[in-house]
Chain A
Amino acid sequence: MSDLEAFRARAAAWLEAMAPLYGKAAGEGLSEAEDLALARRYQKAKFDAGYAGINWPGEFGGQGLGHLEKVVFDTEEMKHGFPGFYFGISLGMPIPVLMQFGQDKAWVKERVLKALQGEEIWCQLFSEPSGGSDLAGLRTRAEPDGNGWKINGQKLWTSWAQYSDYGVIVVRTDPNVPKHKGLTYFWVDMKAPGVTVRPIKLVGGDSHVNEVFFDDVKISDDQRMSPVGGGFAVAIATLMIERYVATDSAGFGPHLDLFVDLAKDTDLNGRPAIEDARIRQQIARNYAMRSALQSITARAMAMMQAGMTPGPEGSLNKLVAVRSRQKLSELAIDLKGNNGFHFNPHASQKEDWAASWINAPTGRIAGGSDETLLNTIAEKILGLPQDHRPDKGIPFNQIPA
């Protein structure tokens, strides 16, 4: 057995042992506060067992292993429905950026250790009402204030801001230069005076995203994590941190086996739906698509293991998997017919077709919309030209609103 396979076996055994304590069944029927408390305990257990910060340096409490081990662990972990998502953003982006760009190393280490043990949560304050895909179009501003800065404006779609202790933020420090050049990157204390967090209820009924208001929020200059005007580069570095994360060819919706089972058990015109050609075609096409994504992932893993850089086709997973999950979920509800009206807003998106369907649009928008991904593929992989951009090279404050 290779080292990696030994690691996988060890991790799988540990996760198996933790499942009764923290897994899907343990989380059933809990309020969100109880669920968060459970998640914090699970995160602490991971830290104690040596499965937190797997690919982070030992000096920050990590395990000093490779990216591959991290992906392997995450893939195994996904099977049990652990309540990990409160820390997904926190440990995925803000904390790695903090390790890379934070100024006060002792303070940084303290924060990293607390975040790794689930005691503190960080959020990422990027999107705004006027700029999501167009990140550099953001309007929240920081103005010099004594030796520090004063922030005013509004952020939007900030995941888990309601539970966050700290956040990283990109703001405009100079409106007189073209939009990418007037941005600066800071960290902020989410409990500071002037910060107001308001959860936003989404269509599926949950409220993991928020709008965050900044009214004369004062910060010191040592909270700055980029040169003044150099914030965009750090923001992009943030987005590039985990290019190869654990993926799911089901688009984080139900596995195809569940659809096959449904088609076998459902009567359509007096025979099992799986004998209906329309259903068969969808099953076959979905299987082909998902098996291709799995093959791409397997090859990427093998390349990383061989010390090579995986190809850009890894970027296809989100685009292809989520939109097909959306359609397959509609089809599953069709199959249930008038037995398909039931809806449980707390059902798992990986097991319940209605929950998968109602939440699928979020997956096609958050973290790079389908259209943004297509632009990225066209421009970065295929060398096609950028869209016409009327705001290019124009000072931010002269862009027509």
Chain B
Amino acid sequence: MSILYDEGQEAIARESRRVLEARVSKEAMLSLLESVGRYDEGFWATAKEQGWTALSLPEAYGGLDLGLVELGLIAHQAGRSLSGAPFLTAGFGVAKAIALYGSDDQKAAWLAGLASGETIGAVAFAEGANALPARPALTLAAGGLEGRVSGVAGGLAAEVALVFAQGPDGPVLAIADLAEAERSAIESFDNSRVYADLVFAGTQAERLLAGEAAREAALHILALQAVITAHEQTGGAEALMEIARDYAVTRKAFGQPIGAFQSIKHRIAELYALVELARANCIHAASREGKDDFITAAAAARISATEAYDTAARDCVQIHGGIGVTWELGLHLHTRRARSLAIEQGPLFFWEDVLVESLRGEAA
């Protein structure tokens, strides 16, 4: 069963939209594209000031005890305005893992900082297209964490990482202090995500879980993050659909607004369909946290949101014609973000497999 947003949730959506629209500038984001190692500090300051970093964490550690629904609403607005730094999602993922699987000492050490946003977190599970590799690239032994993990979103700025590593008896989920890790920045098509390769050489790391439980927990954290990212993708797709619509009613060709041509209006109506399907799956998934079908719902949200954002990015530019491919208009900010978000939390190959495996079990 799906939910209707209550008044408090509506207010979160409204207020976050107001704040972000007032503070985000396209020029600033365009300039971020051209330098490696800088992220949207304004957004992060806003996220901390507004309490978004604390929103869905436990009250005992400085959190506000709200849930995935509320954080999803913020992410949706961040997606609309292109403003997200990657830490909002990953910081939540790291904190949630510690809150769910960590010891009291670990909670005391990390959660308050993550909730206030003073500590930046990253999640480093993936190996190429394998969001949760059968054999992780990192190893965790008595001497600490060893190995190299590539393309970590926010990896250049994070102070702590949640890692999936090979332990003595199967996989482990662990917390690594990044103070001693070696980082190399990646020059990317979406530089403000501050992607980095991380190299560990005997880095201190604390185990949270081991064995199958570690894999299951890692998938759960990924699914939580996937639902947040799906909201962000849906917000981006919604913004593009509206931009395309606004352009189609004002731009004229052959003596009429181009939106009167079915090749244009049907394309935009199809975008509306993709956006609404993605939104519906996001709302549903956010409301299923803690339920048996959460992973399935998260996978469905991830699939439809990725499809919506990628398609909207293609079609919105196409509807604009030549002006759509100029640097100055900035539609490419969305084109780039659609791809970076499609990869962060794992590409669709991964989520399609997760979904089918779960259906395969159910239908047996």
List chain A positions with a Cβ less than 8 A from chain B.
256-257, 260-261, 264, 274, 277, 280-281, 283-285, 287-289, 291-293, 295-296, 298-299, 302-303, 306, 308, 313, 316, 319-320, 371, 374-375, 377-379, 381-388
Which residues of chain B from 329 to 364 have a CB within 8 Å of any chain A CB? 348-349, 351-353, 355-356, 359-360, 363-364
Interface size of B in residues (CB-CB distance below 8 Å)? 46
B265 near A384 with CB under 8 A, answer yes
Least CB distance from B75 to A in Å reads: 18
The docked-state distance in angstroms from the alpha carbon of A264 to that of B360 is 8
A283 near B359 with CB under 8 A, answer yes
B300 at the interface (CB under 8 A from A): yes
The docked-state distance in angstroms from the alpha carbon of A308 to that of B276 is 19
Q: Which residue of B lies closest to A298 (CB)?
A: B2
Which secondary structure dominates chain B's binding surface? helix
The A-B contact count (CB < 8 A) is 139
The docked-state distance in angstroms from the alpha carbon of A382 to that of B271 is 11
Q: Which residue of A lies closest to B297 (CB)?
A: A291
Q: Which residue of B lies closest to A257 (CB)?
A: B363
The docked-state distance in angstroms from the alpha carbon of A256 to that of B120 is 42
Q: Which residue of A lies closest to B293 (CB)?
A: A291
- Our pick among B257, B272, B359 for the contact of A382 (Cβ within 8 Å) is B272
Q: Which residue of B lies closest to A376 (CB)?
A: B269
B99 at the interface (CB under 8 A from A): no
Chain A CB within 10 A, most for which of B296, B351, B356? B356
B260 near A274 with CB under 8 A, answer no
Q: Which residue of B lies closest to A274 (CB)?
A: B360
Chain B hits for A293, CB < 8 A: 277, 280
Least CB distance from B362 to A in Å reads: 8
- Our pick among B1, B3, B300, B351 for the contact of A292 (Cβ within 8 Å) is B300
A284 near B352 with CB under 8 A, answer yes
Which secondary structure dominates chain A's binding surface? helix
A302 with B2, Cβ < 8 A, contacts A264-B360, A283-B359, A296-B276 known: yes
Considering the complex of A and B, which 10 residue pairs feature the smallest CB-CB distances, nearest first? A284-B352, A292-B277, A295-B280, A378-B265, A288-B303, A295-B284, A377-B269, A313-B276, A385-B260, A384-B259
The docked-state distance in angstroms from the alpha carbon of A296 to that of B300 is 14
Chain B hits for A306, CB < 8 A: 4
1/0 contact string of B239-257 vs chain A (CB within 8 Å): 0000001001100000011
Chain B hits for A320, CB < 8 A: 273, 277
Least CB distance from B45 to A in Å reads: 35
B95 at the interface (CB under 8 A from A): no
The docked-state distance in angstroms from the alpha carbon of A277 to that of B256 is 45
Chain B hits for A319, CB < 8 A: 273
Chain A hits for B303, CB < 8 A: 284-285, 288
B304 at the interface (CB under 8 A from A): yes
Chain A CB within 10 A, most for which of B248, B272, B279? B272
A295 near B2 with CB under 8 A, answer yes
